[in-house]
Amino acid sequence: MMAGQMPRWADYILMPAINVAAAFFVSGLVVLAIGENPFDAVRILVWGAFGWNEGIGFTLFYATNFIFTGLAVAVAFHASLFNIGGEGQAYVGGLGVALACLALDRFVPWWVTMPLAVAGAAAFGAAWAYIPAVLQAKRGSHVVITTIMFNFIAASLMVYLLVNVMAKEGSMQPETRTFEDGGRLPLLDTILPGVDFGSAPANLSFVIALLACLFTWVLIWRTRLGYEIRTFGANQTAAVYAGISPVRITIVTMLISGGLAGMMAVNEIMGSQHRLLIEFVSGYGFVGIAVALMGRSHPLGIVFAAILFGMLYQGGAELAFEMPAITRDMIVVIQALVILFAGALEHMFRPTLIKLFGILSAPASRAA
């Protein structure tokens, strides 16, 4: 350990924990301002998320979405690219899932549809990231701005498609017909013996999400491409001298990132809604940024961060039910504070902590 640094465990576990604690402290003040007891609120929230089977099922379901969008942001982070377009990529990914399901659900069982739906989600999500990627790589247009613009373009495109092209015949609802059994993923509790999640939609996508984590870990830390991505992210000039093509890395990384974001739609569309509908992404793409930041862009960290956010979503719904003064919007406030403290203010506590570790480790180094 060098002077002015922290041990790795402090960097990866203690720092995020402190930041989240700060976010929860401020959230507690908000609850207090509304006139409710923050400790009761935490108790209801945690119980709602983990205290009963159905709660756990919902927590895992939400966590699945966050794993995908979190991984998407994290992969781009490793190349020091900021993909803020997970929202749009997931939305368009839903189109890929729906096309596969609508084409096949009446003819084949779900396990034939599934690989095509997953591939469709990844392909459509990646395609939506492709133009911003090319513009960044070849024309230097900032990927943050272009992906924001593409989120809005995706929203318009999907509304147009759902209203004018894909809507169920004779229906005014902007949504497709409901998929038959061939377009539905099995629920987790039907696969796992002895587990019952009640009416929670936790489904096979959770397993796909964990596989995506494994894929990302292997990709980033065990392949040549991953090494190039990390090199490019750490120092672009050095990467060029090492013979790494910035254009290729930028485009490939953004394609992988967009594909992962798109796969979020598998969970929502094929796993739960069983139809394509408008605004099903509803912020999961943006929360992926918080998940990636908290998880330090590591798949394992992302799984934990995703479960934390899944807990907030599910527990927050319970909280809104038990304490009517606190609406579901409280979840958004907590999310915002987590993004603020774990992301934008991540350097606030760091110098103090480094100093603290310096004092603690000083006698030890003198003895050695």
Work out whether 164 is an interface residue with other proteins (CB under 8 A).
yes
Of the candidates 308, 271, 247, 262, which has an alpha carbon nearest to the alpha carbon of residue 126? Answer: 262
Task: Please return the burial class of 278, using the count of CB atoms within 10 Å of its CB with bins 0-12, 13-18 and 19+.
Answer: middle
Question: What's the closest the beta carbon of residue 149 comes to other proteins, in angstroms?
Answer: 4
Candidate list 6, 22, 60, 84; residue touching other proteins; CB under 8 A: 84
Work out whether 40 is an interface residue with other proteins (CB under 8 A).
no
Task: Please tell me the distance from the alpha carbon of residue 200 to that of residue 204, in angstroms, as a whole number.
Answer: 12
- The DSSP string of 48-87 is HHHSSHHHHHHHHHHHHHHHHHHHHHHHHHHTT-----HH
The dihedral of CA 276, 279, 280, 286: what is its sign?
A: positive
Footprint on residues 217-246 left by other proteins (CB under 8 A): none
30 or 46: CB nearest other proteins = 30
Question: What's the closest the beta carbon of residue 53 comes to other proteins, in angstroms?
Answer: 29
Work out whether 247 is an interface residue with other proteins (CB under 8 A).
no
Candidate list 119, 219, 333, 353; residue touching other proteins; CB under 8 A: 333
Task: Please tell me the distance from the alpha carbon of residue 113 to that of residue 163, in angstroms, as a whole number.
Answer: 25
Task: Please tell me the distance from the alpha carbon of residue 254 to that of residue 256, in angstroms, as a whole number.
Answer: 5
Number of chain residues interacting with other proteins (CB under 8 A): 48
Residue type, 254: M
Candidate list 28, 51, 246, 343; residue touching other proteins; CB under 8 A: 343
Stretch that binds other proteins, among 40-48, 116-124, 304-312, 329-337 (CB under 8 A): 329-337
Candidate list 14, 103, 112, 149; residue touching other proteins; CB under 8 A: 149
Question: What's the closest the beta carbon of residue 124 comes to other proteins, in angstroms?
Answer: 17
- The token pair at 186 is 């099995």
194 or 324: CB nearest other proteins = 324
Q: Nearest 5°: phi and psi at 175?
A: -155, 160
Residue type, 48: G
Task: Please tell me the distance from the alpha carbon of residue 253 to that of residue 241, in angstroms, as a whole number.
Answer: 19
Task: Please tell me the distance from the alpha carbon of residue 112 to that of residue 118, in angstroms, as a whole number.
Answer: 11
Stretch that binds other proteins, among 107-115, 117-125, 153-161, 230-238 (CB under 8 A): 153-161
Candidate list 176, 228, 331, 357; residue touching other proteins; CB under 8 A: 331
Footprint on residues 62-81 left by other proteins (CB under 8 A): none
101 or 162: CB nearest other proteins = 162
Question: What's the closest the beta carbon of residue 132 comes to other proteins, in angstroms?
Answer: 8
Residue pair 308/295 in contact (Cβ under 8 Å)? The answer is no
Q: Which residues are at the interface with other proteins (CB under 8 A)?
A: 4, 30, 34, 82, 84, 131, 135, 139-142, 144-146, 148-150, 152-153, 156-157, 159-160, 163-164, 286, 289, 293, 325-327, 329-337, 339-340, 343-348
